Amino acid sequence: MTTTLLYGDLRTGRIVDVIDATGCSWAQESNAAGRIDQVTVPEDVVRALNLRDTCQAARSFLAVDLDGRLQEAGPVWSRMWDDAGRNPTLTLGAAGMWSLFDHRFVLDVLKANLPLQQRGYRVDNATLGGIAKQLVRRTMAWAGGDLPLVFGQGAEAGDRTEDFPGWKLLRVGDQLRELTQREVAAPDIRFRPRYTADRLGIEWVMETGDEDSPLLVQAGDDWVFDANVPRGPVRKIKTDEDATVMGMAAYLTGEGSEADTLMVDAYDPTLVDAGWPRLEVEESRSGVSDQATLGGHAENLRDRSARPIEVWSVVVRAEAAAEVLAGHYARVAPNRGSAWLGGAGETYMRVKTKSGDLGDDVTLTMYSVRGQV
């Protein structure tokens, strides 16, 4: 497998050139901005490409290509030059397109003549995914907001209504994250990079789940990674378990103060009935003033906390996972001779993060689906 680093103009998506880097770390993550960081570029490449002028922070993008498939792409946020020693180097850092919306606020361009407090807006008759797309569309309507972004999978018409008051000065990126954590069937949101038809540029496809299919998963069968296959794709499996974040009862606080604070709770007795002690978690959503919305957040926190908290890191050959995306489902069969995982058998999992570097392997960080404790 060949890993290629590209850079170009963010607002047009046009590719400028390939960067011959000596180091790189990248990751795509479900319902979050991915990253491309620790990109180390030697002095001769910096000079040949004039990267100080042609790869500018915030104005340019970095993209990782794995044998013709874009894995992650987004704005350059950091540039560090070190000319000490014999080998001066430039280190670049970028994040997925979602990160751009962490730097934009939910304000209506059509109300630019009104006081800031009144520049909020309302989205009517939409799905949660449709609300997310409306947030991004209105952000792009501002001067300088144009991006090579197209709107893909996910129904938009529905029965949801959402108000975004201007006086709260809400960040678009935060609101997208909140929509993915709203309730049990909250939609996935993804900004997936792909090449333009002429292959001279890239564009991002904003995909969302909807009420009927909230999760963004593969269309075909589950991916299978079997560590028992001779000379198979699985290099190794590591696990990490942390029960300090576990809870069957979730408490959410919303807008208000002291005794007038909006509060809700959600509880799932499944693990308690199976022998676990009752554990409780809490979270604050100070900007939420609607009881039903806060209840949705409580249900989501409960399910995120009560499901199995053991994370698997499955290192596989890159060619075996070139088409795997964060959010896909996989079946993982650990080595039957393992003292720790030998009895686990084939485990049904969902990919949370896919990461790699300039080498021949990628790491799929996964968690077991709910109900398989």
What is the fold, at CATH topology level, of the domain defined by 102-208? Phage tail protein beta-alpha-beta fold (3.55.50)
Contact by Cβ (8 Å): 186, 300 = yes
Question: What is the predicted pLDDT for the residue at 199?
Answer: 96
Best CA proximity match to 157, nearest among 134, 190, 173:
134
Question: What is the predicted pLDDT for the residue at 368?
Answer: 85
Residue spans of alpha helices (H) in 170-226: 172-180
Question: What is the predicted pLDDT for the residue at 370?
Answer: 54
Contact by Cβ (8 Å): 250, 285 = no
Contact by Cβ (8 Å): 292, 254 = no
Residues in CB range of 244: below 8 A, 6 or more apart = none
Mean pLDDT by 10 residues, the chain (373 residues): 94 98 97 97 97 98 96 98 90 98 94 92 93 95 94 88 92 95 84 97 96 89 95 95 91 90 94 93 87 88 81 95 95 95 91 96 88 49
Q: What is the spatial distance between Cα 107 and Cα 117, in angstroms, rounded to a whole number?
A: 9
> How far are the Cα atoms of 20, 46, 47 from residue 42, in angstroms, in the given order?
8, 6, 9
Q: What is the spatial distance between Cα 20 and Cα 358, in angstroms, rounded to a whole number?
A: 11
Best CA proximity match to 334, nearest among 320, 315, 353:
315
Question: What is the predicted pLDDT for the residue at 245?
Answer: 87
* CATH number belonging to domain 3-95: 2.30.300.10
Element spanning 52, H or E: helix 51-54
Residue spans of alpha helices (H) in the chain: 43-49, 51-54, 128-140, 172-180, 270-273, 291-306
Question: What is the predicted pLDDT for the residue at 373?
Answer: 52
Beta pairing class for 263-267 and 202-208: unpaired
Q: What is the spatial distance between Cα 155 and Cα 131, in angstroms, rounded to a whole number?
A: 10
pTM: 0.89
Contact by Cβ (8 Å): 317, 364 = no
DSSP-assigned letter for residue 371: T
Question: What is the predicted pLDDT for the residue at 308?
Answer: 62
Question: What is the predicted pLDDT for the residue at 289?
Answer: 83
Question: What is the predicted pLDDT for the residue at 185?
Answer: 73
How many Å from the N-terminal Cα to the C-terminal Cα in the chain? 36
